[in-house]
Structure 1
């Protein structure tokens, strides 16, 4: 009699455990598909963060160069914004990666 009761008790706990696992995997607010989507979104946002941090470093480097030298400021304005003096044409020679040859 005791073994029969133990067998039913064990089945009850196994069924309850499996039901809880199924509930947490598919029906809960923090279910597995939601967790996977959140993980990939976090990964994308981390990549965006790295991209923008690199861009910020590039802009800071350009800013330091420009603020220290009038000749470089004029060169930057001519190359980036195609500014020119009256009666003058500006030509920027670039390499195969679309980078100016003179830096």
Structure 2
């Protein structure tokens, strides 16, 4: 809807509602430009979005964030010294000092 597009284009990430932050994090890996399409044109998408799934797992925001971060970490190749440097910089950062931000890969 138009409000959603407005949120994506104009608000800073930290000002977005948590659900929209999650969606925006998922979309960050793509280059896109959201546009408004009237609902009467999107019958199939509307039907699928209303479909209930019985076996759908629900992740908390932090579980989803950790899954996303681990996925991204597996995509890049870095040395142990670089990991230590990243951890060191995270420990200096006020926000990144949170326990859930500093985890070592197994």
How would you bin the TM-score normalised by the shorter chain? under 0.3
Query: Which of 1 and 2 has higher RCO (CA within 8 Å, sep 6+)?
Result: 2
Q: Bigger radius of gyration, 1 or 2?
A: 1
Bigger share in helix:
1
Q: If the length of structure 2 is used for normalisation, what is the TM-score?
A: 0.25
Q: TM-score, length-normalised on structure 1?
A: 0.25
